């Protein structure tokens, strides 16, 4: 079989063990030899941090199309596909990709797993770069607040961790206790604070309403750090108890309870007219039928009225399209786990080797010092040797920390996404319309109505999953029953915006 080899490295990755181009090529050639492939061309991309262009990836794609290549041999998935678009490009080729480090079964689940891994590698990198940059990640893991101290605390001590600022902390506690009684609005609480002779800050004696609300909703005061929507346990001393915090949240909820004066419609405020961009509202006709229509009617938009019952069916499809059968789910999660184990195993081996090297270097450095003291080696030689070993030691340490646990993260995220998707439809069927509406807003956005059909785009990462599930269908991978279900006419507008 005719094969090509593809290897890629970014300047950053060159530091990582096993990522160099020669190492990748070596591994690919070995695999090709073992399987009896005839390698007719090798393509290499070395990327700098600034230019992300992959000139040779494009050349390879052209080459494969022209020369009838059957196999692409590559070290790992993330070498070949940087994002889901690359995955689709490769997937559209006649040649099938083979990976040294990861094996995907040649069936529907293998294909979807491979796609999910591409997706998650991208997610993982995104997460790394914006949320958990290097030290910040470790800081958060140690329970240390990575930003400036919030009101009530000071940054001090090693690692500038949070220390209680007694006067401010007393004010925080006062606000929580007083508001928890439920007898005060935010405005009334500010007034009482002033009347009780308390001082917020030297320059502003009373917190602004917004500041006060943020303070009363910030879980950091009972020991939880909320960072970009996620919660992490903090190592700092809490100011309020969890019970008090919860009580305050209950007061907020009670104050916000919608007054049920008007009849509410399931999809009210959710849909936009596809023709004129006006809001779509609902009204009751003949005392009992609920109709949805565009609010731009008077300005000449003439899309038809649509019965709520018809819309319900179309909205149900949003959740239904994510439905994964139990059997299919098991296949995906199993192969996701298996392919991750390979990566974990690989990382473990590399780490063992690096640790041994570190041990050797440490011993040498110690021995050389003793030799210098004993007069066996001279000062100059000792200086030269020990600085060389110290440098190598730093390098080894850096390689070890770069190994990380990307594989595990990938697997956990992947399992969570398919778990979520699998539960979505059964859960949806059980729930009342308020909950259904919530789920629909989580899964997709841009609900547009053209008078007859509902159009929408799935949110990430459900878009990828649906695309994956739809792909199975046109590749003829599903049995006839499942195919029938998916081939029913679907009215949706699929967003073609892919990640990366």
As measured in angstroms, the least distance from the Cβ of 443 to Zn ion is: 24
**Angle (nearest 5°) at CA 389 between 387 and 395:** 105
CA gap 41, 3 in Å, rounded: 7
CA gap 414, 313 in Å, rounded: 29
Query: DSSP 3-state assignment of 42?
Result: strand
As measured in angstroms, the least distance from the Cβ of 306 to Zn ion is: 12
C-beta of residue 165 within 8 angstroms of C-beta of residue 153: yes
Structure tokens at 192: 């009482």
End-to-end CA distance of the chain: 32
As measured in angstroms, the least distance from the Cβ of 453 to Zn ion is: 14
Closer to Zn ion by Cβ: residue 238 or 296: 296
CA gap 130, 104 in Å, rounded: 30
As measured in angstroms, the least distance from the Cβ of 311 to Zn ion is: 16
Closer to Zn ion by Cβ: residue 258 or 300: 300
As measured in angstroms, the least distance from the Cβ of 267 to Zn ion is: 15
Phi then psi dihedrals of residue 347, to 5 deg: -60, -40
Residue 156 parent element (H or E) = strand 153-156
Closer to Zn ion by Cβ: residue 26 or 308: 308
Closer to Zn ion by Cβ: residue 39 or 276: 276
Closer to Zn ion by Cβ: residue 275 or 338: 275
Closer to Zn ion by Cβ: residue 222 or 305: 305
Query: Sheet containing 272-273: which strands, arranged edge to edge?
Result: 272-273, 444-449, 454-458
Applying CB under 5 A, which residues contact Zn ion?
273, 275-276, 278, 294, 296, 301
As measured in angstroms, the least distance from the Cβ of 330 to Zn ion is: 46
Closer to Zn ion by Cβ: residue 169 or 273: 273
As measured in angstroms, the least distance from the Cβ of 450 to Zn ion is: 9
Reduced DSSP (H G I as helix, E B as strand, rest coil) percent helix, strand, coil of the chain, to 5? 55, 15, 30
The Cβ of residue 222 has, within 10 Å, a number of other Cβ atoms equal to: 17
């Amino acid at each position: 079989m005719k094969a090509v080899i593809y290897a890629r490295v970014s300047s950053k990755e060159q530091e990582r063990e096993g990522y160099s181009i020669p190492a990748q090529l070596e591994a690919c050639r070995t695999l090709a030899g073992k399987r009896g492939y005839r390698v007719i061309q090798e393509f290499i991309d070395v990327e700098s941090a600034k230019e992300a262009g992959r000139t040779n990836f494009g050349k390879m794609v052209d080459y494969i199309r022209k020369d009838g290549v059957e196999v692409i041999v590559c070290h790992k998935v993330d070498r070949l596909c940087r994002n889901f678009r690359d995955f689709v490009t490769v997937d559209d080729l006649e040649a099938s990709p083979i990976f040294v480090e990861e094996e995907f079964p040649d069936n529907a689940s293998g294909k979807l797993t491979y796609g999910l891994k591409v997706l998650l590698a991208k997610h993982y990198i995104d997460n790394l770069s914006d949320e958990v940059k290097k030290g910040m990640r470790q800081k958060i893991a140690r329970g240390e607040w990575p930003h400036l101290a919030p009101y009530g605390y000071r940054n001090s001590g090693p690692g500038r961790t949070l220390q209680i600022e007694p006067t401010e902390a007393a004010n925080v506690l006062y606000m929580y206790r007083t508001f928890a009684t439920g007898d005060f609005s935010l405005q009334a609480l500010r007034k009482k604070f002033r009347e009780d002779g308390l001082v917020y800050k030297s320059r502003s004696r009373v917190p602004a309403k917004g500041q006060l609300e943020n303070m009363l909703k910030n879980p950091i005061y009972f020991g939880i750090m909320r960072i970009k929507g996620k919660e992490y346990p903090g190592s700092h001393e809490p100011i309020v108890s969890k019970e008090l915090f919860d009580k305050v949240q209950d007061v907020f909820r009670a104050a916000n309870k919608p007054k049920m004066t008007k009849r509410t419609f399931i999809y009210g405020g959710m849909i936009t007219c596809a023709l004129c961009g006006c809001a779509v509202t609902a009204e009751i006709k003949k005392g009992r039928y609920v109709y949805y229509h565009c609010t731009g009617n008077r300005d000449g938009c003439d899309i038809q009225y649509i019965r709520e019952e018809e819309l319900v069916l179309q909205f149900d499809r949003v959740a239904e399209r994510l439905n994964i059968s139990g059997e299919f789910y098991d296949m995906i999660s199993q192969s996701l786990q298996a392919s991750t184990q390979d990566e974990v195993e690989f990382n473990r081996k590399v780490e063992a080797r690096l640790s041994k090297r570190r041990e050797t270097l440490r011993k040498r450095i110690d021995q050389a010092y003793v030799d210098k003291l004993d007069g066996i080696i001279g000062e100059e030689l000792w200086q030269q040797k020990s600085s060389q070993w110290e440098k190598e030691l730093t390098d080894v340490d850096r390689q070890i920390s770069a190994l990380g646990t990307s594989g595990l993260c990938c697997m956990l995220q992947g399992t969570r996404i398919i778990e979520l998707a699998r539960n979505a439809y059964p859960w949806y069927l059980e729930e009342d319309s308020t909950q259904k509406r919530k789920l629909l807003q989580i899964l997709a956005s841009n609900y547009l109505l053209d008078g007859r059909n509902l159009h929408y785009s799935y949110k990430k990462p459900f878009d990828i999953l649906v695309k994956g599930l739809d792909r199975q269908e046109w590749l003829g991978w599903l049995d006839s029953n499942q195919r029938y279900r998916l081939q029913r006419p679907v009215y949706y507008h699929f967003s073609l915006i892919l990640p990366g």
